[in-house]
Amino acid sequence: MELQAVKQRFEIIGNSPLLNRALDIATQVAPTNMSVLITGESGVGKENIPKIIHQLSSRKHGAYIAVNCGAIPEGTIDSELFGHEKGSFTGAHESRKGYFEEANGGTIFLDEVAELPLGTQVRLLRVLETGEFIRVGSSKVVKTNVRVVAATNVNFSEAIRNGKFREDLYYRLNQVPVFMPALRERPEDILLLFRKFTTDFSEKYRMPLLSLSSDAEQVMVRYSWPGNVRQLKNITEQMSVLEENRNITAETLSRYLPPESFSSRSMIVTGQNKNGTGDFREREILYKVLFDMKNDLNDLKKLVLGIIESGGHYVANQENETLFEKVFSEGEEPGAAPVVNAGVIHLPRTAHNATVQPADHGHEVVEETLSLTDSEKELIRKALSKHENKRKYAAQELGISERTLYRKIKEYNLGK
- Tens of pLDDT, residues 90-109: 888 899 999 999 999 999 99
pLDDT single digits (tens) 48-99:
999 999 999 999 999 999 999 999 998 899 999 999 999 888 888 899 999 9
Mark the ranges of the chain whose per-residue pLDDT is less than 50: 260-285, 287, 329-332, 334, 350-370
Q: Domain 186-270: which topology?
A: Helicase, Ruva Protein; domain 3 (1.10.8)
Q: Could you read off the pLDDT of 166-187 as tens digits, one per residue?
A: 999 999 999 999 999 999 999 9
Domain 373-412 has CATH 1.10.10: yes
Q: Which of 60, 48, 54 lies closest to 13, judged by CA?
A: 48
3-state helix, strand, coil split of the chain in percent (to 5) is 50, 10, 35
pLDDT value of residue 344: 54
According to the model, what pLDDT value does residue 290 have?
A: 55
Q: Which residues contact 180 (CB under 8 A, 6 or more apart)?
A: 19, 22, 38, 39, 40, 44, 45, 46, 49
Domain boundaries, the chain: 3-181, 186-270, 281-370, 373-412
Q: What is the reported pTM?
A: 0.62
213 phi, psi to nearest 5 deg: -70, 165
Residue closest to 325 by CA, chosen among 306, 338, 312, 343: 338
Per-residue pLDDT, 321 = 55
Kindly report the length of the chain. 416
pLDDT at 337: 54
**Mean pLDDT value across the chain:** 81
pLDDT at 310: 63
Fold match between domain 186-270 and domain 373-412: no
The pLDDT tens digits for 325-345 are 555 544 445 455 555 555 555
Check residue 317 and give its pLDDT: 55
CATH for the stretch 3-181: 3.40.50.300
